[in-house]
Amino acid sequence: MIRHLDDSSATRLLGEVIARAAVPGSVLTLHGDLGAGKTTLARGMLHGLGFLGAVKSPTYSLVEEYPLPQCFFYHFDFYRMRDPAEWDDSGLQDYFRANALCVIEWAEKAGDRLPPVDLALTLTLADQDENARTATIKALTPRGETWLAKIVQG
Ligand SMILES: Nc1ncnc2c1ncn2[C@@H]1O[C@H](COP(=O)(O)OP(=O)(O)O)[C@@H](O)[C@H]1O
Ligand SMILES: [Mg+2]
């Protein structure tokens, strides 16, 4: 699925739709350069699930945890991971549970250690307009296919 996003509210809105279409246990990776809008989209997801507090970027902590009424929501950012081997002693594997929705920025830094990813979303700068982005979403598992079909329906 490819979607044009005019501005950051469009990105947040897409995040809301993605989150509302998710089932617990799902994993989404967010790709794109620094400033592409990955954290903005994750904020939209949390907002879509009814979380009204502040959403910090997990760049320094690797993970921010949100215990929501419907499931746990874990927002990861592996930007500062220097070596995929850091994953092995980190305990991060334990976050990927059936009652958790996991969203990951810079998943590529963890190499091939991540559990199966259901959806991969890439944000790219769209054109001359500095506020425009293009979102490309790919389903990577059967659960991701179902998730993406619901997102397309809005
Ligand atoms: N369409 C857009 N979607 C997301 N962010 C946008 C958009 N247009 C402008 N921005 C700005 O770009 C920045 C994106 O930052 P952030 O979401 O932290 O990016 P990342 O997590 O990918 O590094 C924010 O300052 C945001 O206001
Ligand atoms: Mg970010």
Tell me which ligand sits closest to the C-alpha of residue 5: 1
Q: Helices H, strands E: what count in the chain? A: 4, 7
The predicted structure's pLDDT at residue 59:
83
The predicted structure's pLDDT at residue 126:
80
Minimum-distance ligand 1 atom for the alpha carbon of 43 = 17
Please list the rounded mean pLDDT of every run of 10 residues in the chain (154 residues): 96 98 98 97 97 91 93 96 89 95 96 95 90 97 98 93
Tell me which ligand sits closest to the C-alpha of residue 37: 1
The predicted structure's pLDDT at residue 89:
86
- Cα 68–54–69 angle (5° rounding)? 10
Show the beta-strand stretches assigned E in 24-127. Answer: 27-31, 63-67, 72-77, 100-105, 119-125
Q: Give the distance (Å) from ligand 2 centre to CA of residue 152.
A: 24
User: Is residue 60 within 8 Å of 28, Cβ to Cβ?
Assistant: no
Q: How far is CA 125 from CA 9, 67, 68, 129, in A?
A: 15, 32, 32, 8
Closest residue CA from atom 27 of ligand 1? 8
Strands 133-139 and 2-5: antiparallel
Mutate to test the pocket of ligand 1, among 5, 8, 13 (most ligand atoms within 8 A of CB): 8
